[in-house]
Amino acid sequence: MNEQMFLESMNHLKEINDKRDSEMKKLERQLLEYKKQLITVYGIIRLLDSVYNNHVIEPAFEVTTIIECLRTYISEYLVENVINNNSNSNYDSSDDAD
């Protein structure tokens, strides 16, 4: 293999690597946006749950049940897929039981 072929091969590998890096950065930005949206939804559900539990407004049974189910589902999802995947911390989901 001569020097020219080697340079062409290395340039080609660099292009491939740059393209992969660009795609990874795009995916990381998308993932961050999804996490923000999910955390926002979780916050809204917690707010609704708090309002209903403090009887600021009289809750309908069906709405209360839906809120409790959504809160539980989102909480478990966040712990399993967002919090524990991004850190090695030992997050205790029982802290979220308020």
- The pLDDT value recorded for residue 56 is 64
| Sequence spans of domains, the chain | 3-96
| pLDDT 10s digits, 49-77 | 777 777 766 767 777 787 788 888 888 88
Q: Torsion over CA of 87, 93, 69 and 55, rounded to 10 degrees?
A: -120
Taking residue 14's Cβ as centre, other Cβ atoms within 10 Å add up to 10
- The pLDDT value recorded for residue 8 is 93
- The pLDDT value recorded for residue 21 is 96
Taking residue 64's Cβ as centre, other Cβ atoms within 10 Å add up to 14
Residue 6 corresponds to which tokens in the numbers above?
A: 């080697």
In angstroms, how far is CA 50 from the centroid of its own chain? Answer: 23
| pLDDT 10s digits, 28-55 | 998 888 888 888 888 888 887 777 777 7
- The pLDDT value recorded for residue 59 is 66
Long-range CB contacts for residues 87-91, cutoff 8 Å, separation at least 24 = none
